[in-house]
Amino acid sequence: MTQGQLPDLTRFPQALGARAENYAQRAADVVRPYAPVRTGDLAASLTGEAEQTGDGFVARVVAGVDYARYVLEGTPPHEIRPSSRKALFWEGAAHPVRRVDHPGTHPNPFGDAAADALVDLAREVVAEAIAEVIGG
């Protein structure tokens, strides 16, 4: 770029799109410490995915465990019955039971707590793409 010439900003979407997959993986790294830990499986299952769209890309953090939805959204009160036995029993229970009334769980949208850090990361990635376009 010569003095007085404006940068070719038409390259910006391509420069940003080239960083999409890396951004998605870095976003998963940002969210992971906010995940609740009982076994560590939920946090370990978090990965980033990027998808091209008509005018850019979408990046998302995806959980690879089937119970993630219940952690994020919570559950209503519900009855639990045995599926393969006549009764339920667990360590610490006084005796086997035919059913349990579960009180439900509160939602834990742990990704929301990472929102500020994700915005900072997005700003960083956009700045890198701008620097590439203006500098190159």
pLDDT per residue rounded down to tens, the chain (136 residues): 566 677 778 888 888 888 999 999 999 999 999 999 999 999 999 999 999 888 788 999 999 999 999 999 999 999 999 999 899 999 999 999 999 999 999 999 999 999 999 999 999 999 999 998 888 5
| Listed residue (72, 26, 33) closest to 50, CA to CA | 26
d(C-alpha 86, C-alpha 99), whole Å: 10
Is residue 49 included in any domain, yes or no?
yes
Which pLDDT belongs to residue 4? 66
Is residue 107 included in any domain, yes or no?
yes
The whole-model pTM stands at 0.80
Q: How many independent structural domains does the chain possess? A: 1
Is residue 119 included in any domain, yes or no?
yes
Which pLDDT belongs to residue 10? 85
Is residue 3 included in any domain, yes or no?
no
Show the domain range for 15. 9-135
The pairing of strands 100-102 and 78-80 is: antiparallel
Which pLDDT belongs to residue 43? 97
Is residue 1 included in any domain, yes or no?
no
Which pLDDT belongs to residue 1? 55
Contact between 57 and 107 (Cβ < 8 Å) = no
Is residue 69 included in any domain, yes or no?
yes
